[in-house]
Every structure is written in structure tokens, then in C-alpha cells.
């Protein structure tokens, strides 16, 4: 009788105490999850002793990889002083100053505990500021777990409705119809149709929620004319433009919004700004964020959070973001461009109908010749999913951790060696899919 592996045995224990054997579905893989023993730099070793190059980085949250010495030292120092208080800390103020000075649209901010909570807070702040109930979002875009933010992120051809009037499709069973009615879905990168839809609800919309490089839509940048049309519409109709930078803040020093000619009213952040710890933040116009201020009477949006701005996260995040300066951003983005170029060359050599998309320090592989521009273009059918699964299995077997959509994100400890190895393994995997080349 074969002896059960450590991972298989641990998963059996996990299934006895957690639904599905985990607390987040992203770790699941057949026949059982991988369990980390430790991580260092851009490598993770599991409890079986296998070491892998980490291109998942806890779904884009570890900009400096694992256990960066400067972050570890700073956190260890803070741990000896305390982890959370019912009074303020100086590091919260210092870190807020650092982030506010990083992006031109940030006038003030508040910290929360996750990207989901940051998006939720943006939506609630927009409602409180405008006195309107509804929110608009791009079809297919992922914005976290909040009922109003997750609508239509998993829409499919059987339920997504027409292009001119995309349906508000629930993700979780039991989502109230009232929540669906209060979320207006617009097509991504289609300004004409989007504006027509927004106009039909202009007196009810508190804001438009947008990711400028949405992972679920295919890591396709928002077209400049699309963004400009949404910005102009919100200005003309008294609604707010909310940008979700939970993932994309890593793409430029000032986030994905930096290259565009506009300033959003609110920005949601998370992931990398925690330096490896749970975090979120809502930033933007001072007058909008005033809805959270209780000093002049009851706040229009009362806001609390037991672990918001805890000093451990603030310490780790502050160190991480100070290290991710202009030079570090440029260096990582250049390395990422080399990765995308190398992957594109591997695709060309293999003869597989595929393409690579992305921006900043992120890339995604699609099994189609032309890069998608909308969620419906990017929708993955069974045939494409089979190719994605095959390539992901090949990456895993050859020492790589990737995000489940065949997406990768880089971290600053990576070098040309990891990129060269990535491109080699990509070509090998593609040749398995198309053995003629």
C-alpha cells in the first residue's frame, strides 16, 4: 500500500474542519492543495521539499516576494511593541502621508483590511456623497466579494443578455434581486454603448466602478477613449468615477491611472500596499472622503474597523512601498516586458494559436490569436480552458506557481534567470499542446 504524502494527509485533516478543506478556493488543485513550508525571495518550497518559482505572489500581493529582510526586520521590531491598539499610532499617519504623496488624485485616505473592503467603502462613500443608490461597473470585471461589486463577474453566454443591455448576473446563489437591480452593467471598452446605458440611469447612479487593467477580462488595458467618455459622463451627471487599483497599483509608480489624462474621484487599493499583510485603503478627493468624518456631527458614512491601520500592517506596507520607488518600478516593468516578449516568441515558435497580454509587471496567456478587448471576447470556452489547464499543469510540474487563469505577476527579487526559465518552460508546454512544432 502506497504511503500517503504529507500534503494528502494534511488535506484530509483540512476537509474535516473547513468547507472544501480551505478558507479560500484559490489554493485548491487536484488531487490536493500545495502546502508551503517557507518562501524566500521569488521561491516557495512546499512541505514535500519541492521548490518552485513563484509567479503568483499570493495573487499579486507580494511585490517584493517572500520574507524580504527589510520588511521582516521592521515587522519583528513592531511585534515586540504591540500588534493592535484602540488608540492611534504614528506609523498610520506616516504611511498615509507616504501614499497620499504617491498619486496626484490622492488628497486624503483611510485604511481598511482588504481589497474587497476598500471597494465596498468606495461604493458606500459614493452613495453617501451623492445620495444616490446605484453603481455601474464593467461586465466581467472582478472587484471582490461585496454583493454590489461582484455582479456579472461570472456572466456567460447563457445569461449575459445582449451587448446593448448586459444583464446583472449574480455570482452567489441567493443574491437579493434588489442588489442586482442597483448594479448597472456596461460593456468594457465600448464607450458608445456604455454611455447609452449610463444615460438611462443618470439620476440614480452614485458612481462608475472601473479597473483599468482587469484581470478577469484578460489583462487588457482600458482604452483611452473609453476612460475619457466615462470621466466626462460622471462629471456632467454628478456621479463619481471609482478606480479599482487593488491589483494594478503595481503597474506604475502612481498606479494604472498614472498614464491616463484624468483624475478619479476615489481609488480602492489593497494587496501589495500591505507588505505581505492583509490591507486595503480608500483614497481620493478630500470633499468626498469627508462623508467618513464624524467630527462635524454624525458621519454620512460611519466607518470603523477593529484591525484597520494596525501597526504591523502599516509598518510592513510602509517599508514595502518605500522600496518600490521609481527605479524599482521601472526595473520590474522592463523585466516584465522581456517576459511578455519571450512568451510571444515561444508562441510564434510553437505554432499554437495564442497571444500574451498584460502591462506593468503582469502578463496573461490566451489561447487565441488575437488579444480580446471586451469580457465577451475574452470569455473562456471549454476548448480554450483545456489548453489553459494543460499549460498550467506543465508549469506546475516544471517548478512554477501561476495564477489559475494562466496569469503571472513578477516580484522585485526576480532576475533574467527566472524570466529565461519561464520562457523555456512556456515553449515546452506549448509544444505539448501542438506537438507538430
Give per-residue pLDDT as tens, 381-418.
Answer: 999 999 999 999 999 999 999 999 999 999 999 999 99
pTM to 2 decimal places: 0.96
Domain 34-63+325-433 listed as CATH 3.40.190.290: no
Average pLDDT over residues 305-330: 98
Is-contact 262 255, C-beta < 8 A? no
Confidence of residue 2 (pLDDT cuts 50, 70, 90): low
Query: What percent of the chain lies above the pLDDT cut of 90?
Result: 96
Domain 69-323 listed as CATH 3.40.640.10: yes
Give per-residue pLDDT as tens, 173-182.
Answer: 999 999 999 9
HSE-CB at 12 with a 13 A cutoff on CA atoms is 5
Contacts of 27 (CB under 8 A, 6+ apart): 33, 34
- What count of residues does the chain have? 437
Active-site residue (options: 43, 148, 271, 375):
271
Is 124 noted as a catalytic residue in this protein? no
Given this model, what pLDDT does residue 391 score? Answer: 97
Positions of CATH 3.40.640.10 in the chain: 69-323
Is 436 noted as a catalytic residue in this protein? no
Is 244 noted as a catalytic residue in this protein? yes
DSSP 7-52: HHHHHHHHHHHSGGGSSSGGG--SS----EEEEEBTEEEETTS-EE
Given this model, what pLDDT does residue 245 score? Answer: 98
Identify the DSSP state of 166. B
E strand or H helix at 206, and its extent?
strand 205-210
Positions of CATH 3.90.1150.10 in the chain: 34-63+325-433
What cell numbers appear for 128 in the block? 453617501
Confidence of residue 434 (pLDDT cuts 50, 70, 90): confident
Give the integer Cα–Cα distance in Å for 126 and 288: 7
HSE-CB at 74 with a 13 A cutoff on CA atoms is 22
Active-site residue (options: 11, 43, 142, 188):
142
Identify the DSSP state of 249. G
Active-site residue (options: 147, 190, 244, 265):
244
Given this model, what pLDDT does residue 37 score? Answer: 97
Residue 437 has pLDDT above 60, yes or no: no
Q: What is the mean pLDDT of the chain?
A: 96
Contacts of 11 (CB under 8 A, 6+ apart): 21, 32, 33
Confidence of residue 3 (pLDDT cuts 50, 70, 90): confident
Kindly report the number of other CB atoms within 10 A of residue 116's CB atom.
19
Buried b (16+ CB within 10 A) or exposed e, 188-214: bbbbebbbebbeeeeeebbbbbbbbbb
Average pLDDT over residues 251-280: 97
Given this model, what pLDDT does residue 1 score? Answer: 47
Given this model, what pLDDT does residue 4 score? Answer: 84
Amino acid at each position: 500500500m502506497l504511503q500517503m504524502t504529507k500534503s494528502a494527509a494534511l488535506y484530509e485533516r483540512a476537509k474535516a474542519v473547513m468547507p472544501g478543506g480551505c478558507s479560500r478556493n484559490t489554493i485548491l488543485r487536484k488531487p490536493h492543495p500545495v502546502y508551503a513550508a517557507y518562501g524566500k525571495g521569488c521561491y516557495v518550497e512546499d512541505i514535500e521539499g519541492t521548490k518552485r518559482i513563484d509567479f503568483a505572489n499570493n495573487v499579486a500581493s507580494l511585490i517584493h516576494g517572500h520574507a524580504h529582510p527589510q520588511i521582516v526586520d521592521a515587522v519583528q521590531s513592531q511585534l515586540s511593541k504591540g500588534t493592535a491598539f484602540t488608540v492611534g499610532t504614528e506609523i498610520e499617519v506616516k504611511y498615509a502621508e507616504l501614499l497620499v504623496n504617491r498619486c496626484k488624485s490622492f488628497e486624503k485616505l483611510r485604511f481598511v483590511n482588504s481589497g474587497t473592503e476598500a471597494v465596498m467603502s468606495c461604493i458606500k462613500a459614493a452613495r453617501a456623497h451623492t445620495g444616490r443608490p446605484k453603481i455601474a461597473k464593467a461586465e466581467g470585471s472582478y472587484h471582490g466579494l461585496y454583493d454590489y461589486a461582484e455582479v456579472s463577474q461570472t456572466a456567460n453566454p447563457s445569461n449575459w443578455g445582449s451587448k446593448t443591455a448586459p444583464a446583472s448576473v449574480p455570482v452567489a446563489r441567493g443574491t437579493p434581486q434588489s442588489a442586482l437591480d442597483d448594479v448597472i452593467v456596461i460593456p468594457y471598452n465600448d464607450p458608445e454603448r456604455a454611455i447609452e446605458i449610463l444615460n438611462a440611469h443618470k439620476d440614480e447612479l452614485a458612481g462608475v466602478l472601473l479597473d483599468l487593467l482587469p484581470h478577469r477580462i484578460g489583462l487588457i488595458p482600458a482604452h483611452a477613449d473609453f476612460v475619457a467618455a466615462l470621466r466626462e459622463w460622471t462629471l456632467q451627471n454628478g456621479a463619481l468615477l471609482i478606480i479599482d487599483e487593488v491589483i494594478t497599483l503595481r503597474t506604475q509608480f502612481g498606479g494604472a491611472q498614472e498614464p491616463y489624462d484624468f483624475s478619479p474621484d476615489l481609488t480602492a487599493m489593497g494587496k501589495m500596499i500591505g507588505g505581505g499583510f492583509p490591507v486595503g485603503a480608500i483614497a481620493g478627493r478630500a470633499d468626498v472622503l469627508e462623508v467618513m468624518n464624524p467630527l462635524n456631527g454624525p458621519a454620512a458614512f460611519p466607518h470603523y474597523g477593529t484591525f484597520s491601520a494596525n501597526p504591523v500592517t502599516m509598518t510592513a506596507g510602509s517599508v514595502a512601498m518605500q522600496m518600490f520607488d521609481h527605479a524599482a518600478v521601472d526595473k520590474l516593468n522592463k523585466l516584465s516586458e522581456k517576459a511578455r516578449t519571450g512568451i510571444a516568441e515561444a508562441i510564434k515558435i510553437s505554432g499554437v494559436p495564442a497571444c500574451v497580454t498584460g502591462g506593468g509587471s503582469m502578463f496573461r496567456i490566451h489561447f487565441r490569436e488575437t488579444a480580446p478587448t471586451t469580457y465577451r471576447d475574452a470569455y473562456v470556452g471549454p476548448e480554450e480552458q483545456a489548453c489553459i489547464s494543460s499549460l498550467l499543469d506543465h508549469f506546475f510540474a516544471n517548478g512554477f506557481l501561476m495564477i489559475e487563469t494562466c496569469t503571472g505577476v513578477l516580484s522585485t527579487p526576480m532576475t533574467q534567470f527566472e524570466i529565461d526559465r519561464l520562457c523555456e518552460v512556456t515553449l515546452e508546454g506549448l509544444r505539448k499542446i501542438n506537438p507538430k512544432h
